Structure 1
Amino acid sequence: MKKQPAMKIPKSLFAQFLDWLTILVFAAVVIFLITQFSALPDRVPGHYDGKGDVDRWGSKMELWILPLIGVLLWIPMTVLEKYPHLFNYMNLREDNIEAQYRNGQLMLNVLKNESVLLFSYLTFQGIRVATGGTEGLGIFFMPIFLVVIIGSMIIFLIRMLKL
């Protein structure tokens, strides 16, 4: 297997915007969790089924797991974004290396931000369900989430094949 050339690709303005938007939303949700924590009941949603209904209740400390997972995803994916030459490409050629690296870098950025926004939303909804503001995620949560994540991957895969 031939080693791909390393190339420093600056982060696009769109990727920077997504990062800042996600950081702001994530911070707002963490602040909301901190401010609401003492008012939360001892039992909060621990898991949801495919229809968005709560199918397991747990300790309110479990609400911290989702932001923790978000941070544990964010950090390594942000570092990996800086090294697009480490990604696996289907049609990397001399004439499209930079374009493929930019596409791969943006794909990782979009998936990273979608994932962290998902965990932020789940944390927010967990607080709302625990306090009686809603009953679950709703039946459309899972299909929308899957369309967004899989749709993003398909879009970037098509872009990669066209380059």
Structure 2
Amino acid sequence: MRNSGPQIPLLEQERMIEWFALFLLIAMWLFVLMKFGALPETIPHHFNAKGEPDSWGGKAIIFLAPGIALGTYLLFYFISKMSPDSYNYPVKITEENKEFQYAISRIMLKVMNLWTMILMAYITWAIIAEAGGLQGSFNSWILWTLILGIFVITAGFLVLARKYK
């Protein structure tokens, strides 16, 4: 995957976001690997609107959230390395706005990557905590706030892109 588009230098904040997302991904996998042996054979798979488990099954499902996180991390990482002129934008790209538009699109990808890692880390922690006997550890308000955050981030970047068209 060759980036033949304009080379806009990474901001220090982008590097920090990227490293924090990677840290969360690694921490999530380490946490699962450390806790897997101690998990009961049956763990919660699904929670109702009150945050109570309503579906149980084999403990191997605990690898699903970190697996999705890994796939998502790699997807966002490699897309952010692609040429920004291959992305879709909510505004017409001109010589005057392209550097700004390219930069914020790349930043949005990195922020979404980090937010997804936070979401998956929370789900992983909550399932393990609930399986370990910490009842009420899965808070549906936290989950819905994290999911809503995905839409808020997207909307925020769309507004920013349109404001500086």
- Give the TM-score of the pair, scaled to structure 1: 0.89
The answer for unaligned runs of 5 or more in structure 2 is: none
Change (3 A) 1:72 1:96: same
Counting matched residue pairs gives 159
Is the CA contact 2:25–2:70 (under 8 Å) kept in the aligned structure 1?
no
Q: RMSD over aligned Cα, in angstroms?
A: 1.7
Aligned equivalent of 2:108: 107
For residues 66 and 143 of structure 1, the distance between their equivalents in structure 2, rounded to whole angstroms, comes to 16
Whether the 8 Å contact between 1:9 and 1:82 is mirrored in structure 2 is no
Superposition pairs of residues 69-148 of structure 1, within 5 angstroms:
69-83=68-82, 84-91=84-91, 92-148=93-149
Q: Distance in 2 between matches of 1:52 and 1:152?
A: 25
Percentage identity across aligned positions?
26
Distance 2:140 2:131 in 1: 18
| SS at structure 2 position matched to 1:140 | helix
TM-superposed deviation, 1:136 = 4.3
Which segments of structure 1 move beyond 3 Å, counting only runs of 4 or more? Answer: none
TM-superposition CA deviations, 1:61-113 (whole Å, max 9, x none): 00001111111111121011022221111222221001000011111111111
- Equivalence for 1:8: 7
Q: Is the 8 A contact 1:42 1:60 kept in 2?
A: yes
> 1:107 corresponds to which letter in structure 2?
M
What TM-score results when the alignment is normalised by the length of structure 2? 0.88
Query: Structure 1: which 5+ residue stretches go unaligned?
Result: none
